[in-house]
């Protein structure tokens, strides 16, 4: 194995090229400061891949991803794809499914001295990524949706003990590194068998982490509690669709969906991916907030640090996070956070902050 870190990036659609390029620029600066030799590869995905290869996620892209240490995925605008691509699994779901990236980890943290609906928010949504009620990801073949007649549409929701156990371990291990509080989110009062199994298995795994305080809420109730007292929550573990909805909400509670990062991980692979979408209405205008993509990249480096037992990667990740925080605290931010900096101006400010550190 080469000692050189092998990373890839996929620009995606809409604002993807702007924010991914910004994240790569910032990551290169941080890795340079830690003298970590890195090779980067750009890979096609989304509309550009459809135009060139006739596939939203070409086999050539998947082949390279098999070989690299990790990668950054830009947002996709699959709603605008022509058929048959519109009806197929979207690029993000396709890549997650191909590599069994079962854990979607989505922090929501308020930046000091910035506006937020819930100042002081600092929590993490741990979302099971392979089952639940997203029918495009929970079956071996097909989409999990079918229509027995033109007027009836049915979707399957699937929960298995194995999947819940592994996502619960991720959540509890994360809680042990944070404030040792974990909340299980479910809807067992109505979906008694499926989300009831999710809740019950999480409590079984809780016995292995006696230092963690555990509670649980129904999905509808937890939205109210988050609106009222988000800073009191630490780690929330839930199924696929609930986690997707909650993480958008908590990102906005912390200040902006543009600051909401995430990684998608398995036991041995990870992909950085901002929690937000491709925002085609502002694409190419320099208005996009690159913070979520930058923080997602920092999360990827932190994950790789643990995998490779390389503290320099953790230092690089912390350098990115600290520099973003300092730039925002100094008054530079994009319009969604009340500032006037363009995407590239904000990225340049973060790079400058990184390169001036001792």
Choice among 81, 187, 216, 234 that is catalytic: 187
Residue 133 pLDDT level (bands cut at 50, 70, 90): confident
Choice among 63, 203, 220, 357 that is catalytic: 220
Q: Mean pLDDT throughout 26-49?
A: 97
Tell me the average pLDDT of the chain.
94
Residue 113 pLDDT level (bands cut at 50, 70, 90): confident
Predicted confidence (pLDDT) per residue in 286-336, tens digit: 999 999 999 999 999 999 999 999 999 999 999 999 999 999 999 999 999
Domain limits, the chain: 1-100+280-358, 116-254
pLDDT at 137: 65
pLDDT at 114: 87
Answer yes or no: same fold for 1-100+280-358 and 116-254: yes
pLDDT at 135: 64
pLDDT at 1: 42
Active site residue 63: no
CA angle 195, 190, 242 (to 5 degrees): 45
Choice among 13, 77, 216, 248 that is catalytic: 248
Q: What percent of the chain has pLDDT over 70?
A: 98
Domain 116-254 has CATH 3.40.50.1000: no
Do residues 56 and 85 make contact, with C-beta atoms less than 8 angstroms apart?
A: yes
pLDDT at 138: 63
Q: Mean pLDDT throughout 71-85?
A: 94
Write down the pTM of the prediction: 0.93
Reported in sequence order, the residue ranges of 188-342 that DSSP labels E, i.e. its strands, are: 213-218, 235-238, 263-265, 270-272
Residue 266 pLDDT level (bands cut at 50, 70, 90): very high
Q: Mean pLDDT throughout 37-42?
A: 97
pLDDT at 156: 87
Reported in sequence order, the residue ranges of the chain that DSSP labels E, i.e. its strands, are: 5-10, 38-42, 70-73, 103-109, 122-128, 145-149, 152-155, 181-186, 213-218, 235-238, 263-265, 270-272
What is the phi/psi pair of residue 343, to 5°?
-55, -50
Active site residue 187: yes
Q: Is the per-residue pLDDT at 141 higher than 80? A: no
Active site residue 134: yes
Q: Worst-scoring range by mean pLDDT, 1-15, 117-131, 148-162, 224-238?
A: 1-15
Helix (H) or strand (E) holding 319: helix 311-329
Q: Mean pLDDT throughout 105-121?
A: 93
- Interhelix angle 161-177/194-206, nearest 10 degrees: 50
pLDDT at 136: 63
CA gap 34, 15 in Å, rounded: 29
Active site residue 136: no
Give domain 1-100+280-358's CATH architecture: 3-Layer(aba) Sandwich (3.40)
Q: What is the 8-class DSSP label of residue 88?
A: S
Choice among 13, 69, 77, 134 that is catalytic: 134
The alpha carbon dihedral of 68, 9, 297, 118 has a sign of negative
């Amino acid at each position: 194995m080469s000692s050189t870190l092998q990373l890839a990036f996929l620009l995606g659609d809409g604002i993807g090229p702007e924010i991914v390029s910004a994240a790569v620029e910032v990551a290169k600066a941080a890795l340079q400061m830690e003298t970590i030799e890195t090779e980067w590869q750009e890979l096609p995905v989304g509309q550009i891949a459809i135009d060139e290869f006739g596939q939203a996620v070409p086999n050539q892209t998947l082949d390279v991803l098999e070989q690299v240490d990790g990668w950054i995925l830009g947002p996709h605008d699959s709603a605008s794809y022509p058929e048959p691509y519109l009806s197929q699994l979207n690029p993000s779901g396709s890549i997650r499914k191909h590599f069994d990236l079962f854990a979607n980890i989505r922090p929501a943290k308020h930046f000091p001295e910035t506006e937020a609906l819930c100042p002081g928010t600092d929590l993490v949504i741990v979302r099971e990524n392979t089952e639940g009620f997203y029918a495009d990801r929970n079956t071996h073949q097909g989409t999990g949706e079918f229509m027995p007649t033109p007027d009836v549409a049915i979707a399957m929701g699937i929960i298995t003990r194995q999947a819940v156990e592994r996502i619960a371990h991720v959540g509890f291990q994360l809680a042990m590194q944070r404030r040792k509080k974990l909340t299980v989110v479910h809807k067992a009062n109505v979906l008694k068998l499926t989300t009831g199994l999710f809740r019950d298995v999480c409590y079984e795994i809780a016995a292995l982490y006696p230092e963690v305080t555990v509670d649980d809420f129904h999905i509808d109730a937890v939205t109210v509690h988050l609106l009222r007292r988000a800073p009191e929550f630490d780690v929330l573990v839930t199924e696929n669709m609930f986690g997707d909805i909650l993480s958008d909400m908590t990102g906005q509670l912390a200040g902006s969906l543009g600051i909401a990062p995430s990684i998608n991980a398995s036991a041995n692979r990870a992909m950085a991916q901002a929690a937000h979408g491709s925002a085609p209405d502002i694409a190419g205008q320099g208005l996009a907030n690159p913070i979520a993509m930058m923080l997602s990249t920092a999360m990827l480096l932190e994950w790789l640090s643990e995998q490779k037992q390389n503290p320099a990667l953790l230092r690089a990740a912390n350098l990115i996070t600290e520099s973003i925080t300092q730039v925002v605290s100094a008054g530079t931010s994009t319009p969604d956070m009340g500032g006037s900096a363009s995407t590239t101006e904000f990225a340049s400010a973060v790079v400058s902050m990184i390169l001036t550190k001792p």
